[in-house]
Structure 1
Amino acid sequence: MTRLHLHLLSDSTGETLENIAKAGIAQFENVEAIRHFWPMVRSDVHLDRIMEEISLNPGIVLFTLANSQLRRRLENRCRALGLPHVAPLDAVTDALSNILGQEARNRPGRKHILDEAYFARIEAIQFTIAHDDGVGHENWEEADIVLAGVSRASKTPTSIYLANRGYKTANIPLVPESPPPRNLYGLKHPMVVGLTISPERLVQVRRNRLLSLNQAPETAYVDIERVQEEVAFARRMFADNGWPVIDMTRRSIEEAAAAIINLFNERVLAE
């Protein structure tokens, strides 16, 4: 296992840098990335303190700094320490500048201006949190997406991820002994998506959940025959209602959300 110190410096929240770093590290095997997160870097004093920490844990430095003087200071310090340093947005900005025929307006945190999209994302997050696990079903018509699935099928984390992408998302657990609210079957605006998972994988997830709560791992909740019945019940419901289905058995939350967003966009285009 190779250990790598990864320093992320941003003059704003650093969300973009973090996503780039995650995507890059995911391309390599047997790498333990130790991320050091340095947001809101906007002064020489702050930068100097950070460089002291970086010198103690040398590694690669990724940065997005709009202030040219601060950027040069960082680059000079990195060269002095012999550290690789990369501004990952430079190539994109330069290409856009050439195509558009204008200089980029460098402003710290410009990409996070509080515009309509920002407030829409906050609203989506608030809606999603308030409509988790079947709560607030009377407001489901206001949702963009409703996720349905058995317990521990990754409904909540997928909902939160979608909310961070700006989609109002509700979710409902499917339990054979407790039918879901009737309005689930008559929704017009939201796209209902079924989340399924193999019974074997589901038993493993549920058992780990019980152990983490210091509860007995041998109950009907993890009985394989019972779980098979639950999954079959959910699949029949998906098929009877013509809802698209995402299999979570081998999918990450990010992959599942991307597939759901594609389905949503196709639905919008078809309307």
Structure 2
Amino acid sequence: MARTHLHLFSDSTGETLQMVANAALAQFENVDVVRHFWPMVRSRQHLERIVPELEKSPGLILYTLVNEDMRKVLEEKCRQLSLPAVDALGEVTNVLESCFGQEAHGRPGRQHRMDDAYFRRVDAIHFTIAHDDGIASDDWHKADIVLAGVSRTSKTPTSIYLANRGYKVANIPLVMESPPPPVLFELDGPLVVGLTTAPERLVQIRRNRLLSLNEASETAYAEHERVEEEIRFARRMFADNNWPVIDVTRRSIEETAAAIIKLMNDRRERTKPQEKPI
């Protein structure tokens, strides 16, 4: 299998660029790709220092450089080396400029600026970490989203992902021997979502978890009948309280979060005041 070198150039943190690369590479199987990540490239001198690495490991160049002069320098270097270069956001930005009738600002890292949205995300992350695994139930009413589910149904990673999107999230483990506090059933502000999964999948996840902790995997925690009973217990609770349910068996964290955000948006649409006819 031929090895392909992928060089990622960004004038900021490179988070957006890496997401684009991940999404594109996910469409291919059995490929050998070596990534070279070059963030915070904001000067010609910096770019010149990287050029020898392009010569040593030639491949595809994917970039997000908002400064036009920097783009031209990189594109010229790529032409000299006969390397393909792709502007990951250029075409989208050009179309948006036409739609909005104005030029893009061209400031590196603009999406990461410390504005109100940034501080809302920071607050959301702090809240979510402080309300992980059933902690601080007195504050659950301040959450945007509350996730409930039995152990190992991706509640914590999903909560953290949503927090990075600006949502305050609390998550609650459902344990048959220890029912959640009554406040959970009295919430009317947050969106409460139940997370579930296939018993077979959950058994495997729990066994792997026990092995990683050097504990015996043959316990009730990972026993199939016990797991099925836990899932039935949780599903009855979801149904009794009319909470939406998401099966995470075949979903990534991102897909689960996207489904929850859609539920949030749908609820906002339903509760949005209707304009009175003139």
Q: How far did 1:15 drift?
A: 1.5
Q: How far did 1:130 drift?
A: 1.1
User: For residues 87-131 of structure 1, what are the alpha-carbon distances to aligned partners after superposition, in whole Å with 9 as ceiling and x for unaligned?
Assistant: 111111111222222222212222222221111111111111111
Within 1, Cα distance between the matches of 2:2 and 2:163?
34
Identity level (%) = 66
Q: Secondary structure at the match of 2:134?
A: coil
Q: 1:32 to 1:168 in 2, by over 3 A?
A: farther
Q: How far did 1:146 drift?
A: 0.5
Q: What are the equivalent positions in structure 2 for 1:122-141 lying under 5 Å apart?
A: 122-141=122-141
Q: Secondary structure at the match of 2:106?
A: coil
The letter for the 2-side match of 1:234 is A
Contact 1:2-1:30 within 8 A present in 2 as well: no
Contact 1:194-1:246 within 8 A present in 2 as well: yes
Within 2, Cα distance between the matches of 1:219 and 1:62?
49
Q: How far did 1:2 drift?
A: 6.0
Partner of 2:96: 96
Q: What are the equivalent positions in structure 2 for 1:88-167 lying under 5 Å apart?
A: 88-167=88-167
Partner of 1:270: 270
Within 1, Cα distance between the matches of 2:181 and 2:52?
58
Q: How far did 1:221 drift?
A: 0.9
Within 2, Cα distance between the matches of 1:206 and 1:58?
44
Q: Give the TM-score normalised by the residue count of structure 2.
A: 0.92
Q: What are the equivalent positions in structure 2 for 1:227-246 lying under 5 Å apart?
A: 227-246=227-246
Within 2, Cα distance between the matches of 1:55 and 1:204?
46
Report the more deviating stretch, 210-219 or 176-185. 210-219
Q: 1:179 to 1:13 in 2, by over 3 A?
A: same
Within the alignment, does 1:53 sit opposite 2:53 as a pair? yes
Within 2, Cα distance between the matches of 1:67 and 1:56?
26
Q: How far did 1:32 drift?
A: 4.2
Q: Secondary structure at the match of 2:27?
A: coil
Within the alignment, does 1:218 sit opposite 2:223 as a pair? no
Within the alignment, does 1:14 sit opposite 2:14 as a pair? yes
Partner of 1:196: 196
Within 1, Cα distance between the matches of 2:177 and 2:32?
45
Q: Secondary structure at the match of 2:51?
A: helix
Within 2, Cα distance between the matches of 1:130 and 1:92?
38
Runs of 4+ in 1 over 6 A off after TM superposition: none
Q: Secondary structure at the match of 1:246?
A: strand
Q: Secondary structure at the match of 1:133?
A: helix
Within 1, Cα distance between the matches of 2:88 and 2:166?
25
Unaligned regions of 5+ residues in structure 1, if any? Answer: none
Q: Secondary structure at the match of 2:147?
A: strand
Within 2, Cα distance between the matches of 1:2 and 1:234?
49
The letter for the 2-side match of 1:124 is A
Within 1, Cα distance between the matches of 2:154 and 2:164?
16
The letter for the 1-side match of 2:244 is P
Q: Secondary structure at the match of 2:263?
A: helix
Within 1, Cα distance between the matches of 2:195 and 2:88?
35
Partner of 2:69: 69
Q: 1:32 to 1:180 in 2, by over 3 A?
A: farther
Partner of 1:85: 85
Within 2, Cα distance between the matches of 1:140 and 1:32?
46
Partner of 2:169: 169
The letter for the 1-side match of 2:126 is Q
Q: How far did 1:3 drift?
A: 4.3
Q: How far did 1:186 drift?
A: 0.6
Within 1, Cα distance between the matches of 2:32 and 2:252?
19
Within 2, Cα distance between the matches of 1:218 and 1:236?
27
The letter for the 2-side match of 1:168 is K
The letter for the 2-side match of 1:45 is Q
Report the more deviating stretch, 176-185 or 69-78. 69-78
Partner of 2:44: 44
Q: 1:268 to 1:3 in 2, by over 3 A?
A: farther
Partner of 2:5: 5
The letter for the 1-side match of 2:148 is A
Q: Give the TM-score normalised by the residue count of structure 1.
A: 0.95
Within 2, Cα distance between the matches of 1:24 and 1:62?
11
Within 2, Cα distance between the matches of 1:197 and 1:70?
48
The letter for the 1-side match of 2:191 is M
